[in-house]
Copies of this chain bind each other. A is one copy, B any other.
């Protein structure tokens, strides 16, 4: 085993796949965990293969313990898939903790992508609305006008407000990629921001797979979305009962 030393961004290759202009797709933890849920569903469905792990001194200084009691460092992971259009997919446990670390991690990921010839990036995330969203739309932002127009045709909504921003890897990969001549877009599923949201993730991955021309099943995401709905419905029902009970109690006082 090659000796690995932790730096701001340490890429450990498990394999160097042969890819042709792969499209980079990012889905790291964030608002409603939409991006991560979306990309993990894609990785599972298309059976993408892990080819690299990324470690960083800017990740939380801890290990993660799995259900068997086995420890591992916090990391990001890169998967690939060979199809009509080759794909590189990025997900992971955390984003960088500091501003500087986030920039350096994004640059390191773009270095990997550039080596494989990436010219196009999609970043996936949630768009926090602060209120419950039953039918989440997918909002977008992109590196150029042509891409904005293309994405509108897929139902992506563009409501740019002056001075808006996309924070973290979903933003930086596009901004830093643009500096390298890469095109890219961010797809953000509307979500309340209070719960993990597979329902929003489904809308994001639905549009992405249409864009990529890939057919996958959404049934596992549907199941997860239904489970989250069951839990939130139960909480709402309990809250309603408690609230009515309080009104009754107050009646006696009056």
Contact = CB atoms under 8 A, between A and B. Distances in A.
From A65, A67, A102, A175, name the one whose CB has the most chain B CB atoms within 10 angstroms. Answer: A65
Nearest to A66: B160
Interface string A42-85: 00000000000001011111111111111111100000000000
A131 interface: no
A171 B23 CA distance: 35
State the number of copies, please. Answer: 4
Given A71-B142, A148-B68, A60 B99 contact: yes
From A5, A97, A158, A167, name the one whose CB has the most chain B CB atoms within 10 angstroms. Answer: A5
Nearest to A114: B3
B69 A160 contact: yes
B67 A172 contact: no
B58 A100 contact: yes
Nearest to A173: B63
Contacts of A1: 180-181
Interface string A132-155: 000000001111110010000000
A62 B171 contact: yes
B57 A99 contact: yes
A69 B168 contact: no
A212 interface: no
A198 B61 CA distance: 26
Contacts of A162: 66-67
Contact of A165 (B5, B62, B99, B175): B62
A6 interface: yes
A163 to B, nearest CB: 7
Contact of A70 (B98, B107, B148): B148
20 contacts: A1-B180, A4-B180, A61-B168, A61-B172, A62-B171, A63-B141, A63-B174, A64-B164, A65-B160, A65-B161, A69-B159, A69-B160, A70-B145, A70-B148, A70-B160, A71-B166, A71-B186, A73-B172, A73-B176, A97-B99
